[in-house]
Amino acid sequence: MSNSDTELVVAIPREADPKEKRVALVPAMIPALTKIGLHVRLQTNAGRAAGFPDQQYLDKGAEIESDRTQLLQHADIVLQVRALGGNDGVESDDVSLLHDGQVLIASCDPLTFPNSVTAVAEQGVTAFSLELVPRITRAQSMDILSSMATVAGYRAVLLAATAAPRMFPLMMTAAGTLKPARVLVIGAGVAGLQAIATAKRLGAVVYGYDIRPAVREQVESLGGKFVELDLESEQSETQGGYAKQMDEDFYRRQREAMKKVIADCDIVITTAAIPGRKAPILVTTEMVEAMAPGSVVVDLAAERGGNCEVTNPGETIDHNGVAVLGPCNMPSDVPVHASEMFSKNAVTFLQLMIEDGKLNIDLEDEIIRDTLLTQGNVITNGRVRELLDMEPLDPAASSENGGDSAVTDESSDESVVAGDSAAP
């Protein structure tokens, strides 16, 4: 018998996008929520596409609700993988079902789709966007960008290996010696490093490039060879150690130097993405045309416009015999482990706000403050307010509604060729 009448109820609806296979909460994480006094309700088959049938949730103490409207309207906290702008253009009536005082925790992509934040603010919902979790040590276990970038980097190599007309490893056979594939990974953030490690495990000769010279050691520790270009890059790194957006002249010179490197590679994987902005073009049409027929480009920034000039998001293009892949929502293609990682991140974040079984939204905590989008009908995030041409909150309003919690300079400019800011 549930005590949910007195417990805070956490609702897990099916994802609005039918192509989204992940689920925000896996059965194994339910005891962690029960322990802090929360009760879980799940929409029928919410976890099925990720490999988690309803019975597994029931076995862990959750309830199953078939009616989405009832589920959302009677929840205190709504936990989703993607909501608001994060639904990638998929229309959803979920916002109209939410109510004043309710908490929404999800990937919301507010820097790309700031208008979507307005609707949830009008409903009086307290919304948190997990992409905005600050890059600090204490928040690593809540960082969905890093978790999902890990999945994307791994998956990118498998896509490349499948599309390539050659095998990755060196092989000496009775029929002759087969040369290993040469793989170039542009960007040595989480996604790029995972791609380097995966390609190396498959036996390829792997090269890694990043505008930050400091990541050489990380590339080489995974068995990759660091590519050095004759470019001034001392100002390419923020104080937080992330790649910084450079000017167009730098990217032009970078492309010129990169052309020769790319022409010698069989596989190129690009990972550069900027939160809320179009991805920089790092691989031009001319570079693709310099590659040998049968080569492959996998563009992990396809959802942000692509790092490759030829990329068409969601499609595979044959350009002069070179396959250019523009995959979208890569983590959804590995839904079991992606869901497990997302669930761990989200539950750890939620635990910050629960005290004695009740919500305690402590805006002195920078993790909570920086991820907060809306509270009390007010859009509290400074960066979103700027994108909406809204005046900054005054100090009094800031202290009451989460402050002018703009993304810091470090996080807003990070991962320009590191790939950590790909859409989760």
CATH (domain of 90): 3.40.50.720
| 28/138 same-domain check | yes
Give CA angle at 264 (215, 241), nearest 5°.
10
| 314/349 same-domain check | no
| 54/185 same-domain check | no
- Backbone φ, ψ for residue 28 (5° rounding): -60, -20
pLDDT of residue 395: 57
User: Which of the listed residues 301, 333, 365 is the one where a domain comes to its end?
Assistant: 333
| 368/326 same-domain check | no
User: Which of the listed residues 307, 333, 359 is the one where a domain comes to its end?
Assistant: 333
Beta bridge partners of 78: 11, 104
Residue 46 burial by Cβ neighbours in a 10 Å radius (0-12, 13-18, 19+): buried
| 244/168 same-domain check | yes
| 305/158 same-domain check | yes
So which residues are the catalytic ones?
A: 135, 140, 143, 146, 242
Beta bridge partners of 216: none
User: Which of the listed residues 333, 365, 399 is the one where a domain comes to its end?
Assistant: 333
For 191-251, what is the HEC assignment? HHHHHHHHHHHCCCEEEEECCCHHHHHHHHHCCCEECCCCCCCCCCECCCCCECCCCHHHH
| 114/177 same-domain check | no
Is 89 inside any structural domain?
yes
pLDDT of residue 401: 45
Cβ contacts of 118 within 8 Å, gap of 6 or more:
379, 388
Cα–Cα distance between 419 and 417 in angstroms, integer?
6
Task: Write out the residue range of the structural domain in which residue 190 sits.
Answer: 150-333
Cα–Cα distance between 190 and 192 in angstroms, integer?
6
Is 126 inside any structural domain?
yes
| 382/339 same-domain check | yes
| 158/307 same-domain check | yes
Is 417 inside any structural domain?
no
Is 275 inside any structural domain?
yes
Give the number of domains in the chain.
2
Cα–Cα distance between 157 and 109 in angstroms, integer?
26
| 118/178 same-domain check | no
Indicate the length of the chain as a whole number. Answer: 424
C-beta of residue 275 within 8 angstroms of C-beta of residue 190: no
Is 286 inside any structural domain?
yes
Give Cα 234 distance to the centre of its chain. 27
Per-residue pLDDT of the chain (424 residues; tens, 9 = 90+): 345 557 899 999 999 999 999 999 999 999 999 999 999 999 999 999 999 999 999 999 999 999 999 999 999 999 999 999 888 767 678 899 999 999 999 999 999 999 999 999 999 999 999 999 998 999 999 999 999 999 999 999 999 999 999 999 999 989 989 999 999 999 999 999 999 999 999 999 999 998 888 899 999 999 999 998 766 555 544 444 444 556 677 777 777 778 889 999 999 999 998 777 889 899 999 999 999 999 999 999 999 999 999 999 999 999 999 999 999 999 999 999 999 999 999 999 999 999 999 999 999 999 999 999 999 999 999 999 999 999 988 655 544 444 443 333 233 333 344 445 445 6
| 186/323 same-domain check | yes
Is 420 inside any structural domain?
no
Is 414 inside any structural domain?
no
| 82/162 same-domain check | no
Is 419 inside any structural domain?
no
pLDDT of residue 89: 66
